[in-house]
Amino acid sequence: MNLTLFVWRQKGPAEKGRLEQFNAKDISPEMSFLEMLDTVNEGIIKDGKEPIAFDHDCREGICGMCSQVINGVPHGPQEKTTVCQLHMRNFKDGGSIYIEPWRARAFPVIKDLIVDRSALDRIIQAGGYISVHTGGVPDANAVLVSNDDADAAMDASECIGCGACVAACPNGSAMLFTASKVTHLAMLPQGQVEAARRVCVMTEAMTQEGFGNCSNHYECQAACPKGIRVQFIAKLNREFIRAQFKGARRESPQ
């Protein structure tokens, strides 16, 4: 396959970026999108120029590093698929592909397609954990969890923190990410103790990091490579309302 790429190039966080055109020649349809970029980069390096900087790690769809908006959709055209798991057979030979970084105030561009997503980590640090006593490993099934709850918690925990939901959101909100974390723990008995505080501090951390407010566009769900559903945001909202009656503030250890 031969393709024309329009890739976002930006030297650093404070620099102005622009789209640069590249020709990707002799691309195999079986290549992954990142392998295609590797091939293009080899050509660029041979020409003695600066290769395209992009994030990646596992290349098997579980780490959430490969953050690229491809032809206007975070993670590209295939549903529930990360960029690393996207194959070139999904593109038309001779076509052109736009590749851009996640664009959100809370995700500053480090270089080219690489953005700093540590704002998501700080949302987790605010309350995305449970406090447990250390010591011996608890017996299996000592705490009973219904199958439905376990399934829902498992679904919510599938979030890989990639940030595609933010990239897709017209408001630059990280509500789907935050909701998946809140739901994951709220479904389980172990998460109950800090539930009221968690939902408040995590949503506040989200705002502090500069993410926008959710207004129910549902673009996040459409872009999420892990199928996290907006129903989890409804669950977060219920948790927030419940927290108001539980005096979440007074329980706060801060």
Partner 1 sequence: MRFLENTVGRKIVIAVTGQLMAVFAIFHLLGNYFNPYSMKFPDIGSFIWLARLAMLLSFGLHTFFGIQAELENHKARTGPYALKKSISTTFAAKTMIWSGILSGVFIIFHLLNFTFSVIDESFQDNYAVALGYTIGLSAVCLHLYHGIASFFQTMGWNSEKSLSVITMAGKGMALLLFAGFICIVVLNRV
Give the interface with ligand SF4 as residue ranges (CB under 6 A). Answer: 64, 159-165, 176-177, 180, 223-226, 228
Bridge partners of residue 115, in order along the sequence? 109
The CA-atom distances, in angstroms, between 135 and each of 138, 139, 156, 185, 221 are 9, 12, 28, 21, 39
The minimum distance between CB 199 and partner 1, in angstroms, equals 8
Q: Which DSSP symbol is given to 136?
A: S
* Residues forming the site for ligand FES (CB under 6 A): 56-59, 61-66, 82-84
In angstroms, give the least distance from the CB of 69 to partner 1. 6
Q: Is the dihedral of CA 189, 121, 222, 39 positive or negative?
A: negative
Beta strands in the chain (DSSP E): 3-9, 18-24, 69-70, 73-74, 96-100, 109-111, 114-115
Smaller CB separation from partner 1, 62 or 221: 221
Give least dist CB 165 to partner 1, A: 12
Contact residues for 42 (Cβ-Cβ < 8 A; gap 6+)? none
Q: Which region, left, alpha or beta, applies to residue 188 given φ > 0 means left and ψ of -120 to 50 means alpha?
A: beta
The residues near 234 (Cβ < 8 Å, ≥ 6 apart) are none
Does residue 194 bind partner 1 (CB under 8 A)? Answer: no
Using CB under 8 A, which of the segments 51-59, 104-112, 123-131, 188-196 binds partner 1? 104-112
Q: How many residues does the chain have?
A: 254
* Contact string (CB under 8 A) for partner 1, positions 115-154, x = contact: ----------------------------------------
Is the CB of 229 or the CB of 248 nearer to ligand SF4?
Answer: 229
Shortest distance, CB of residue 138 to partner 1, whole angstroms?
Answer: 30
Instruction: Give the interface with partner 1 as residue ranges (CB under 8 A).
Output: 6, 8, 19, 69, 71-73, 98, 100, 103-106, 168, 170-173, 199-200, 203-204, 206-207, 210-219, 221-223, 229-231, 233-238, 240-241, 244, 249
